[in-house]
């Protein structure tokens, strides 16, 4: 791996959804997430990180140093065991009566934690809590997202859907041969979402987040929606990626002032927006010590 990045970054990502559900809420029947006071749509940071992880895993086949720590059906404690064994600390492990691994001592193992940073892209990028069972401590990731929020209020459409089949023989018998089953589907007709992100150089130094990792991260933000298609998510696309690169590790301007340089305005009057063309995006002049880069 090359050396860690030495500059602080902030970024603004604009992405949109058409006739889809960008981030369903499982506690609300999978309805699109909405700010109940304003009606603006929301997309969680966890949702966006999942898409980045999936893209990196697809591009690099989940091979070191681009393995993915948080993924479907993963048993995290077994990854901790791998780290202990790979760093020759197997003597610090023990198994309980059920064969489950745990650390002998109460402290974490710094070598194992560094091994996980070196081999797992999402650990050195987003950080992780790895202190359960086999204790590898915690890692604060240099890259963090805020929630995505739609520029305007969004409307949630509710649709009835029909499946011309049933799942079991019992269902078929109970319905007297009528094998149609009904369901519900929720979509946002259109929404343009804005998300702010932060990249810390001091934390990158701790995890080893490198220039190659940073470029891969930018690639993921541009392309992750193209590899995350489903009937539920409709048409989703990254529309703008605006990056602020500071000349120093600690930064040369407050992030809030840099974000204020990016303004998004609706241009379709009183009509509800239905495409990215219904908005205009303007970017101001960056202050001294900050380079503005429009990747998209």
Interval 152-199: pLDDT, tens: 999 988 888 887 887 777 777 776 666 777 778 889 999 999 999 999
What is residue 195's DSSP assignment? E
Determine contact, residues 209/125, Cβ cutoff 8 Å. Answer: yes
- Quote the percentage of the chain above a pLDDT of 70: 98
Task: Give the domain ranges of the chain.
Answer: 1-44+147-155+188-296, 49-139
Rounded Cα distance between 144 and 127, Å, is 9
Cα–Cα distances in angstroms (integers) from residue 241 to residues 11, 17, 53, 151, 253, in the given order: 7, 16, 18, 15, 19
Residue 66, token pair as written in the block: 């681009």
Cβ proximity of 259 and 196 under 8 Å: yes
| 189 contacts 273 by C-beta, under 8 angstroms | no
The predicted pLDDT at position 177 comes to 65
Question: If pLDDT is split at 50, 70 and 90, which confidence band does 284 have?
Answer: very high
Least confident of 55-64, 132-141, 177-186: 177-186
C-alpha pair distances (Å), 252 with each of 7, 67, 100, 140, 244: 10, 34, 49, 22, 10
- CA dist list (Å): 129 to 99, 117, 133, 178: 23, 12, 11, 50
The predicted-structure confidence for 199-228, as pLDDT tens digits, reads as follows: 999 999 999 999 999 999 999 999 999 999
Smallest CA-to-CA distance from 233 within 16, 12, 13, 46 is with: 16
> Between the CA of residue 294 and those of 239, 245, 281, what are the distances in Å?
11, 11, 12
pLDDT digits (tens, 9 = 90+) for 4-33: 999 999 999 999 999 999 999 999 889 999
Q: What is the mean pLDDT of residues 129-135?
A: 90
- pTM, rounded to two decimals: 0.92
**Do residues 83 and 115 touch, judged by C-beta distance below 8 A?**
yes
Ramachandran angles phi, psi of 24, nearest 5°: -70, 150
How does residue 1 score in pLDDT terms, banded at 50, 70 and 90?
low
- Given phi > 0 = left and psi -120 to 50 = alpha, else beta, which region is 148? beta
Q: Is 91 helix (H, G, I), strand (E, B) or coil?
A: helix
């Amino acid at each position: 791996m090359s050396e860690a990045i030495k500059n602080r970054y902030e970024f603004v990502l604009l992405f949109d959804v058409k006739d889809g559900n960008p981030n369903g809420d499982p506690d609300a029947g999978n309805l699109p997430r909405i700010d109940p006071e304003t009606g603006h749509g929301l997309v969680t940071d966890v949702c966006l990180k999942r898409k980045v992880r999936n893209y990196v895993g697809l591009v690099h086949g989940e091979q070191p140093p681009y393995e993915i720590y948080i993924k479907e059906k993963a048993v995290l404690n077994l990854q901790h065991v791998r780290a202990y064994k790979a760093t020759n600390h197997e003597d610090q492990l023990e198994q309980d009566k059920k064969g489950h691994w745990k650390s002998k001592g109460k402290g974490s193992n710094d070598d194992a934690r560094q091994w996980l940073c070196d081999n797992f892209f999402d650990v050195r990028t987003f950080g992780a809590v790895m202190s359960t069972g086999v204790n590898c401590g915690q890692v604060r990731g240099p890259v963090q997202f805020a929630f995505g929020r739609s520029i305007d209020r969004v409307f949630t459409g509710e649709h009835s859907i029909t499946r011309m089949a049933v799942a079991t023989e019992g269902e078929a018998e109970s319905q007297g041969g009528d094998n149609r089953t009904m369901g519900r589907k929720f979509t946002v007709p259109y929404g343009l979402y804005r998300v702010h992100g932060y990249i810390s150089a001091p934390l990158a130094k701790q995890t080893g987040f490198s220039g190659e990792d940073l470029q891969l991260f930018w690639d993921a933000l541009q392309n992750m929606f193209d590899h995350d298609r489903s009937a539920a998510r409709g048409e989703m696309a990254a529309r703008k990626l605006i990056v602020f690169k500071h000349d120093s590790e600690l930064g040369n301007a407050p992030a809030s002032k840099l974000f204020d340089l990016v303004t998004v305005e609706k241009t379709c009057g009183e009509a509800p927006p239905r495409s990215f063309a219904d908005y205009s995006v303007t970017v101001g002049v960056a202050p001294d010590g900050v380079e503005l880069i429009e990747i998209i």
